[in-house]
Structure 1
């Protein structure tokens, strides 16, 4: 029996980029990948513009809530994708780490968030291909 790879997306507030990435991965990979997201300083709620941008492409992330990044979440993941959290992410040997440089959607309007959403999709598609 093969176990599903676990992917953890991390950004500072776990309210925009990491939530959109988690939404894309769940949508595109289904049950083949275990999806997690967290933030080093989680916000109170998900960025409403990120929710709107994902709704435009048929993905509902409204029920998601920002979560605090824990060492256990990193240890239990096969791939850790960071998005602007810098040194806040714990490092464990043997884990695969990727750092995606993406604009922060915080405080931006929908026109500015759409290209971020689309770039995240492109990177998630590449990630899925690399996991197979």
Structure 2
């Protein structure tokens, strides 16, 4: 991972859509089932804010929740965790380690081999297809 990316609120607003800004910079959540068209081809899901590689297509699964779900990040150091106590709940929020973009939450009810479900807002991700041989 490269150096930390820090921008002003105005700079983030200039580069992100309204929804991506609300979700990634203001800890919002997009409506469920709004990103069911993610590619199924090999590739990487990167942070929409800074391009950091976050999740591999091979670790994506259908959780039935309406948000893209993965059982592990590409590298543990690419995704940070904090405790989220909003809405009278205690959850583990996940964010991009490079730019601190809010991505979603991680839950202990995922499939093997990790048993984790990274429940990620689709608007926080950009898909980068694997290079063809």
TM-score normalized with structure 1 length:
0.22
Instruction: Judging by fraction of residues, say which structure has more helix.
Output: 1
Normalised by the size of structure 2, how large is the TM-score? 0.22
More strand by share: 2
